[in-house]
Amino acid sequence: MAREKGGFWVGVAAAIFYPGTRLLARRRFEGRDKLPRQGGVLLVGNHISHLDPPYAAVFVHQARRVPRFLAKDSLWKIPVLGRILRGAGQIPVSRGTADARNSLAAADKALTEGKVVTIYPEGTLTKDPEFWPMVSRTGVARLAVEHCVDGSVPVLPLVHWGTHRVWDHKRKRLSLFPRKTVVVRVGDPLDLSKFRGRAVDNELLREVTDHLMGEVRDLLAEVREEQAPTEFYSPRKARKDKQEEDR
């Protein structure tokens, strides 16, 4: 199967990300054969580091597909990077504004046109102290209900592990030695048929979101070879618990 054409700016990004990700850490890509070679695909990922998208982008590109990410719109304001993102067809997200709906509309259009769309439902880097997925936003469920519940577009869990050890965003510290290993793994397509035929309301969107992120969490547990927590970390609940402890 021929490679999906991405154009000049996708080529520029590839020329940067391929050697850059290899320089920063060893790459271990798993499950790339599970990514369909054509047609729309929704990848749902955990988010532990700012380095997640470059590694995931190389993963998808090596599968001969063009990666498209929903990412915060402030990145578009960075010189050069913003031009690359715009030219490569990435999707800006303006969180907390009316424009946030536009990003979902753009992602919806991309899936309809047979593109690979990657979304990080947590909306930001996880705040879980142990780097497990936290309570996520329901935008991913809107896309899944529209495209994936009936099976017309596959939705696959995507996990990253090790990127947080290369770049510590809390300390703003890059660690190249000893050399780290970054794992990117894609799991099997998820079956969402149990949600078929239900009214699209807040309850359904929360259920679908938690189901998707539960699958991501379980796949991450396999990569980490650890037992996953039974609940998603909630920053709001953590703050409330701390306030009660301080009283």
Tens-digit pLDDT profile for residues 157-204:
999 999 999 999 988 999 999 999 999 999 999 999 999 999 999 999
> Is there a domain that residue 61 lies in?
yes
* Total structural domains within the chain: 1
Q: Compute the C-alpha angle 114/120/126, nearest 5°.
A: 170
Rounded-to-integer distance, Cα 93 and Cα 104, Å: 8
DSSP single-letter state for residue 190: P
> Is there a domain that residue 208 lies in?
yes
Confidence bin at 220 (pLDDT 50/70/90): very high
What's the confidence (pLDDT) of residue 97?
Answer: 59
> Is there a domain that residue 82 lies in?
no
Closest CA to 115 of 84, 88, 150: 88
> Is there a domain that residue 74 lies in?
no
- Note down the domain range covering 131: 8-67+94-246
Query: Residue type for 182, please?
Result: V
> Is there a domain that residue 32 lies in?
yes
DSSP single-letter state for residue 134: B
What percent of the residues of the chain are helix, what percent strand, and what percent coil, each to the nearest 5? 45, 15, 40
How many CA atoms, within 13 angstroms, populate the side-chain half-sphere of residue 96?
Answer: 5
> Is there a domain that residue 80 lies in?
no
> Is there a domain that residue 72 lies in?
no
pLDDT over 70 at 156, yes or no:
yes
Please list the alpha-helical segments (H only) found in 40-168. 52-62, 81-87, 100-112, 139-147, 163-166
Kindly give the pairing relationship between strand 155-161 and strand 181-186: antiparallel
CATH number of 168's domain: 3.40.1130.10
| pTM assigned to the model | 0.96
